[in-house]
Amino acid sequence: MLLLEEEMRELHWRVLNLPTQAERFEANLLLMERLDEALRQDPLCKYPFDSLNRISILMSSDRQFRIFTWYVPHQDGTFTYYGVIQSWNPRHKRYHTHWLEDCSDETEQIEEALLSAENWFGALYYEIIPLKSRGRTYYTLLGWDGNHPQVNRKLIEVLHFKGGDSPAFGHYLFRGMPGRQRRILFEYAGRASMTLRYDTQAFIRKERKRNRRVVEKEVFRPMIVFDRLAPLNPSLEGNPAFLVPEGHIQDAFVEENGRWQLIRDVDARNQPQDKKARPPAPPQQGLFPPN
């Protein structure tokens, strides 16, 4: 397995660095073949693939699935994404492999679409957050999509499994947003840097006491924190190429009764009093290309 991993590391370097697009896709095809061979040799998802540090490899905390995601850069500054999921099948008592096909360019009504492995909205994932809702587990994925040199994307995706182990993307877990959305998509200026992370931070909750008096209480909770985006100039409203983080203003999604509830104006500079409550930071360094 070590020799196979070393070959994959070299192939992935070629995917990222060879001069022509045709050479990169040829190297990527070989990379996929070697990865498929490696996954067959690792049916219990125990091999760490530590040297593949430019490929995102995430295992869910309950070990129900492992997901690999990476990209092939195009010469025009865009990307095609690739991925594979190993999901646990309780009936067969083993992991099944599902290759993901990037159909981002063909996806309509992105926030509302229910997608599958065959028509995946491609992204590079860097965080998995399990969420229990009505007796089922949904996995919230934080991801990056270098959509275009002028416009980058980040998204909050929802992964769940149908029929035991078949992956499905998108679910109505979000509250407080306009309309019904199966995923949350952020589009912003390609040269900007947007925060989207899972962290323990503070927000103000209003509580009504028995005497009907309303009091404000600072609450520390794990949450998905993200920058609020605004146009560089009001006349540019609606053009994502000119959307940037609005100073230090951040919003968040907090888990409430099996849903992600939108909370405005989170003070993300605060630190929890109990540092043990902080979720672990995801291993992001080196995954994304520089702006």
Look at residue 277 and tell me whether its pLDDT is greater than 50: no
The owner of tokens 């290309």 is: 289
Q: Is residue 216 part of a domain?
A: yes
Contacts with 261 (C-beta within 8 Å, 6 or more apart), sequence order: 175, 176, 253, 254, 255
Domain span at 190: 55-277
89 in any annotated domain: yes
Q: Looking at the domain assignment, is residue 94 inside a domain?
A: yes
pLDDT digits (tens, 9 = 90+) for 63-97: 999 999 999 999 999 999 999 999 998 888 889 99
- Global pTM? 0.90
Assigned domain for 181 exists? yes
Q: Which residues contact 129 (CB under 8 A, 6 or more apart)?
A: 139, 140, 141, 142, 198, 224
The number of angstroms, rounded, from the C-alpha of 225 to the middle of its chain's C-alpha atoms is 13
The residue ranges of DSSP E strands in 149-286, in sequence order, are 151-162, 166-169, 174-175, 184-189, 196-208, 214-231, 243-256, 259-266
Confidence of residue 268 (pLDDT cuts 50, 70, 90): low
| Percent of the residues in the chain that have a pLDDT greater than 70, as a whole number | 90
Q: What pLDDT, on the 0 to 100 scale, is given for residue 200?
A: 84
What is the pLDDT, as a whole number, of residue 25? 97
Measured CA distances, 208 to 213, 215, 216, 220, 256 (Å): 6, 6, 9, 19, 18
Looking at the domain assignment, is residue 114 inside a domain? yes
Domain count, the chain: 1
Q: What is the pLDDT of residues 234-244, one digit of tens each?
A: 888 889 999 99
Residue 242 lies in a domain: yes
**Does 84 map to a domain?**
yes
Judge whether 262 lies within some domain: yes
| Predicted local confidence at residue 279, as pLDDT | 46
**pLDDT for 267 beyond 70:** yes
